[in-house]
């Protein structure tokens, strides 16, 4: 395999992100369509932490004060939702605060970052259903729902337990991971998106397709969330069950990839003709595969490291916007929700984030937050 020069790629990303600062400005970006312009959503939306996360990772890797200056107040902006309205906040406070308050505290020691991260962790912990042993997804009447995405959010609880010394956060995270492992991961390594429980008794009812094509299909980004999330859970706990689960999902993910190593939005479509890819699933999985590679014995490392590098090579050579300086995103080919006809075949800010996170890891980045 012809490998990329990851130090040179980080330099290319530095030039790209420098342009993005001017292009994105004060926006809270989520999706860019054919015009290459990121939208601007309210910061209570679940993706509001990823653009700040990009800036923090780039600051940590380069030391350039322009990145820190551009991102310093973002966690304060997010904290205002705890004061004004928490109606739109839910299980994804992990995504929002890990890449803002938590990484800010981790890199700089900022006391307000620590306080805000713990505030978010308290909110996430409050969503734990004791009977079902899961963290509730979303709001409204979805009292008994849990989703595969939340495997990434529980890193906030592991961090909170570590910095506070309180094991309760960790206990909740582990219980949620165990429940997801039991009901969310299939024998072949594919995963369910939405799990439904009786919120009173905690009994499992059924799995829903959610953003996959059907209840028994295989949504590629959900698979990537699970791969990365269980790898993180192993790193935080040392519990081999979680590493073995991450490996099983990784083997399924890698075996399901097309020739350019960037998945379609679902692995189990009747036909892939004219179906969009999801570059965000590829980037998330690449970063997670690097986590697994660090955790396994030397004889196994190449399986996961090479898998990650093949994915990154495909993204870098076929999906990146290097030749489009006016484009505000890094990666093309992202699909948010094909069943919902929402953010299809464009650029997703979390795809950009995890692509940079993976490149940073290959350049020795140590301040892991997920």
Catalytic positions are 92, 149
User: Is there a contact between 196 and 154 (Cβ–Cβ < 8 Å)?
Assistant: no
Q: How far apart are CA 115 and CA 137, in angstroms?
A: 24
Rounded CA-CA distance 59/5 in Å is 20
Structure tokens at 129: 């259903």
Cβ burial, residue 85 (10 Å; 0-12/13-18/19+)? exposed
Measured CA to CA, the distance from residue 278 to residue 289 in angstroms comes to: 17
End-to-end CA distance of the chain: 28
Closest of 224, 227, 226 to residue 293, by C-alpha = 227
If you count DSSP H runs as helices and E runs as strands, how many of each does the chain have, helices first?
A: 15, 7
Considering Cα of 334, then 349, then 363, then 12, what sign does the dihedral take? positive
């Amino acid at each position: 395999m012809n490998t990329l020069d990851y130090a040179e790629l980080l330099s290319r990303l530095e030039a790209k992100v420098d342009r993005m600062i001017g292009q994105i400005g004060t926006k809270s970006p989520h999706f860019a369509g054919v015009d290459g312009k990121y939208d601007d959503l309210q910061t209570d939306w679940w993706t509001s932490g990823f653009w700040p996360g990009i800036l923090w990772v780039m600051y940590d890797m380069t030391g350039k004060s322009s990145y820190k200056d551009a991102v310093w107040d973002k966690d304060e902006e997010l904290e205002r939702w705890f004061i004004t309205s928490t109606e739109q906040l839910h299980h994804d406070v992990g995504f929002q605060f890990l890449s803002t308050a938590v990484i800010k505290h981790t890199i700089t020691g900022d006391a307000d970052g620590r306080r805000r991260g713990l505030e978010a962790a308290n909110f996430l912990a409050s969503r734990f259903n004791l009977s079902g042993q899961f963290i509730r997804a979303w709001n409204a009447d979805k009292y008994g729902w849990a989703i595969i995405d939340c495997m990434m959010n529980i890193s906030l609880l592991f961090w909170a337990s570590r910095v506070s010394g309180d094991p309760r956060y960790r206990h909740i995270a582990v219980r949620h991971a165990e429940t997801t492992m039991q009901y969310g991961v299939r024998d072949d390594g594919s995963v369910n998106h939405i799990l439904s429980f009786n919120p009173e008794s905690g009994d499992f009812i059924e799995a829903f397709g959610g953003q996959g094509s059907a209840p028994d299909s295989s949504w590629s980004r959900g698979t990537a969330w699970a791969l990365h999330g269980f790898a993180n859970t192993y790193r935080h706990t040392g519990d081999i069950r979680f590493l073995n689960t991450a490996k099983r999902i990784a083997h399924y993910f890698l075996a399901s990839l097309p020739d350019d190593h960037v998945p379609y939005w679902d692995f189990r479509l009747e036909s892939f003709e004219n179906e969009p890819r999801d570059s965000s699933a590829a980037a998330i999985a690449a970063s997670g595969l690097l986590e697994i590679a660090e955790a396994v014995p030397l004889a196994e490392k190449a399986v996961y490291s090479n898998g990650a590098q093949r994915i990154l090579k495909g993204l870098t050579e076929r999906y990146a916007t290097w030749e489009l300086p006016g484009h505000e995103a890094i990666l093309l080919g992202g699909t948010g929700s094909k069943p919902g006809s929402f953010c299809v075949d464009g650029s997703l800010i979390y795809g950009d984030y995890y692509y940079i996170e993976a490149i940073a890891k290959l350049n020795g980045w140590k301040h892991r937050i997920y």
